Amino acid sequence: MASRRNFIRTTTLGITAATFYPLINKGESAISKHPASASELPVGIADFTFRHFDIPQSIQMMQRLDIHSMSIKDFHLPLNSTKEKIDEVVKQYRDGDVTIYAVGVIYMKDKDAVDQAFDYARNVGVDIIVGVPNHDLIDYAEQKVKDYNIKLAIHNHGPEDKLYPNPQIAYDLIKNKDARMGLCLDIGHAQRAGVVPAKAVLKYGKRIFDLHIKDVTKAENDGKAIEIGRGIIDFPSFVKALRKIKYPGHCSIEFEKDMKDPLPGIAESIGYFKGVKAGTV
């Protein structure tokens, strides 16, 4: 008998395949709306997904996917943008029915970079910075968190990263800091570093402010990004853990496979993740 996970995967892929082909021809939404679940574990997009596309193309893909929340990257809105430019870009997304809820990932190698990141976030109008501050800037960043009342969510990268190869290193630096200092848990990079995402969620709890959702082929340095549901991450356990801690933030898909033609893979990934949410209790 097929496992529950395989059943969810099979049915979700079938639904995605059935809806995606008409999308190309009619410009309709790739994913059916699920109003009952929209407020719980809402799905967003991490803008790195769209690194090869301009703003109108990115908005169009989000509309077709029926996803309306984004954490924006600086290639679509440079860190040194004027307030007028920021307002223009934010309005462009808003007019496309996309809400920018966070900025980042932003690298902070000195105090000036920290200052710039917090000014930028305030001007964009968000309360979360997904950031990578150098370790010696944690205390300075904490003071900015207090001054601006903006959360800092430190992003973990994989085992090859020198600063934050796993979320534990970030957690150890902020666990005794202001409660607005936390994590953006990238579950794919965490898994590549040998950290099981569901266990990380339970361990770090309310210090998790944001999520970058992806799947990987194996729990090793050379694990590759793949459509959600095709890799090794146990998504039903992950969703159960999120519900146990009553995670209040976004679950933002960061799709890093086929990045010049990502729409089919994003649609499949969203369909699978939503299927897991609907089928996991």
Say if 32 falls within a structural domain: no
Q: Average of pLDDT values for 156-181?
A: 98
Say if 36 falls within a structural domain: no
Tell me the percentage of the chain whose pLDDT exceeds 70: 86
Say if 251 falls within a structural domain: yes
Say if 257 falls within a structural domain: yes
Structure tokens at 218: 């194996």
Q: Average of pLDDT values for 60-83?
A: 98
b/e map 124-154, b = 16+ CB within 10 Å: bebebbbbbbbeebbebbbebbeebebbbbb
Say if 27 falls within a structural domain: no
Q: Average of pLDDT values for 94-104?
A: 98
Cα–Cα nearest to 251, from 63, 38, 9: 38
Average pLDDT score, the chain: 89
Per-residue pLDDT, 281: 62
The CATH number linked to 168 is: 3.20.20.150
Assess whether pLDDT exceeds 60 at residue 261: yes
Q: Average of pLDDT values for 152-176?
A: 98
Say if 94 falls within a structural domain: yes
Per-residue pLDDT, 280: 78
> In the chain, how many domains are there?
1
Cβ neighbours for 271, distance < 8 A, ≥ 6 positions apart: 12, 13, 15, 16, 30, 31
Per-residue pLDDT, 32: 32
Give how far Cα 262 sits from Cα of 32, 50, 51, 105, Å: 19, 8, 10, 20
Say if 171 falls within a structural domain: yes
Its pTM surpasses 0.75: yes
Q: Average of pLDDT values for 53-78?
A: 98
Say if 152 falls within a structural domain: yes
- Structural domain containing residue 161: 4-20+41-279
Assess whether pLDDT exceeds 80 at residue 234: yes
Contact 270, 65 (CB under 8 A): yes
How confident is the model over 17-36, as pLDDT tens digits?
Answer: 433 433 333 333 333 333 33
